[in-house]
Amino acid sequence: MKTQLGFALLAGIETELLVVAAVDTQTGKGPDAKPQPVLLTADIAVQAAAAAVLASGEFKAGANETVLLHTPVGLKARRLLLVGLGKSAKATANSVRNAAGTAVRFTKPRGIRELVLSLPEIDSKTLPHTASVRAAVEGALVGNYDSDTYRSDRTDQSVESFTLAASAGADQAALEAAFAEGVILGESQNFARALVNEPGNKLTPTILGQRAAQMAAEVGLGWEVHSTEKLHELKMGAFWSVAQGSAEPPALIVLRYEPEDVKDGPILGLVGKGITFDSGGISIKPSSNMDEMKTDMAGGAAMLGAMRAIALLKPRVRVLCIVCATENMPDGNAQKPGDVQTAMPITPDKPGKTIEIISTDAEGRLVLADGLTYARQLGATHLIDAATLTGACVVALGTVNAGAFSNDDATYDKFNAALALSGEKFWRLPLGDEYAEMIKSDIGDIKNTGGRWGGAITAAEFLKVFVEDTPWIHLDIAGLAWLEDSKPYIAKGPSGVGVRSILEWARSF
């Protein structure tokens, strides 16, 4: 989709579809309170064209609500679409992001191939125009993505042109910079979504490594992709224990972002779970919905998408990324419940932790254990990992929030602040010695599952063993990585959750 930022009066813009946002300014409560929709534009011609429908009560400006007007009087646009942001007091950059996505998704099935979205004119103190600009183009790009990649009868309904129209008196340089950022973030999120959408036979660990290397070369990242021999060299016994049951070789993906003018300071370690298909291994999953286990590499995809954005936005901080990619399969070489595996040692003179395998379906934490250790060995001073790790996190938080854990309040505060920009929802869950006790093993150091209760927390406690005192954040994105139903602003399928938040966390350094 071609994206551009323009500066012109709305009434004079010739387009198939002009989109204008509105808010509900009604503040009262009670049975007599009625919505009071107000357009977020000063253009008198647009206000006049929409006056009748606003007065009718048909359109209430609820979040992502739409109403379409054909041949609006006084405008050169052939259609006028009003999109609601919801209550004016609650309007945020994320409201704008979702409204832009809603407009694009409204457009796609109607054969409309171009649209112009008016930048919502809101008090800049309440919502900075730069934040709105960035969010709008992000939302448009995300809204334009569909997951029907392999349909033989696929009809490409992509929007070909998206223009964001700002007022002529705006700070053009600032808005253009924000727009460029939004394009990078939207495209990076879609890059991650495209990876998650791929079926297991089309995205093996080897192919994921190839896709990561291609992206890295395109945006100027340093990269390495290793396989079985390197895992043995590094004594990655936890990672290898998962990979040994598959005919497909594993891939250890390492990306590096090293600004030339930054020689000291923190080194951020991004670690992603890259299980390209998860059968559960010997502890095999039920057949129902197992097809969705192609998405078990969404944490790794989020890290790759974030690294793409980091490379293009060039923050002044060093970042390395590790994605541990493998299948989890139940062949004759697969590990068994009751086996004991030895994880990668942090230093050659220090033995690796021994892990009792209770369930081979608790495999994500095994690959992450070695990935986190390797990131520390490569010099990471701060760590963040992302994984579709536990169903328990979905039970706890549903599909509204993803889970977040941290051993360091200052590091987590940076991430929490980043959510205001990213618009993504994470909820911090606790850690503690009582939970750590639940993963102690009678035969080894720890076991890979602590039982049914508090499963998301005991999984995080397992990872915490391998980060020790390094400041660390763990993101359990199991509930949000794949959308079971379409929303007005995003299609059913891969969401790309985590990309924007991880990027903003990195930039905070």
The closest of 326, 366, 337 to 463, measured between CA atoms, is: 366
Token pair recorded at residue 265: 């300071």
Of the residues 256, 285, 428, 487, only one is catalytic, namely 285
The packing angle between helices 172-197 and 129-143, to 10°, is 30
Alpha-carbon distance 324 to 239, whole Å?
A: 7
Token pair recorded at residue 174: 């600032």
3-class DSSP assignment, residue 435? helix
Alpha-carbon distance 191 to 135, whole Å?
A: 17
Cβ neighbors of 28 (< 8 A, separation 6 or more) are: none
Of the residues 105, 308, 365, 376, only one is catalytic, namely 365
Alpha-carbon distance 59 to 450, whole Å?
A: 51
**Is residue 185 left, alpha or beta, with left meaning phi > 0 and alpha meaning psi from -120 to 50?**
alpha
Cβ neighbors of 288 (< 8 A, separation 6 or more) are: none
Residue 417 and residue 481 in contact, taking contact as beta carbons nearer than 8 Å: no
The closest of 125, 124, 120, 123 to 40, measured between CA atoms, is: 120
Alpha-carbon distance 153 to 316, whole Å?
A: 46
Helix/strand/coil percentages in the chain, nearest 5: 35, 20, 40
Is 108 designated active site? no
Q: What angle do CA 294, 428, 381 make, to 5 degrees?
A: 80
Cβ-count burial of 509 within 10 angstroms (0-12 exposed, 13-18 middle, 19+ buried)? Answer: middle
Alpha-carbon distance 195 to 16, whole Å?
A: 32
**Is residue 500 left, alpha or beta, with left meaning phi > 0 and alpha meaning psi from -120 to 50?**
alpha
Is 285 designated active site? yes
Cβ neighbors of 97 (< 8 A, separation 6 or more) are: 135, 136, 138, 139, 142, 423, 489
Alpha-carbon distance 276 to 105, whole Å?
A: 29
For the annotated catalytic residues, the residue numbers are 285, 365
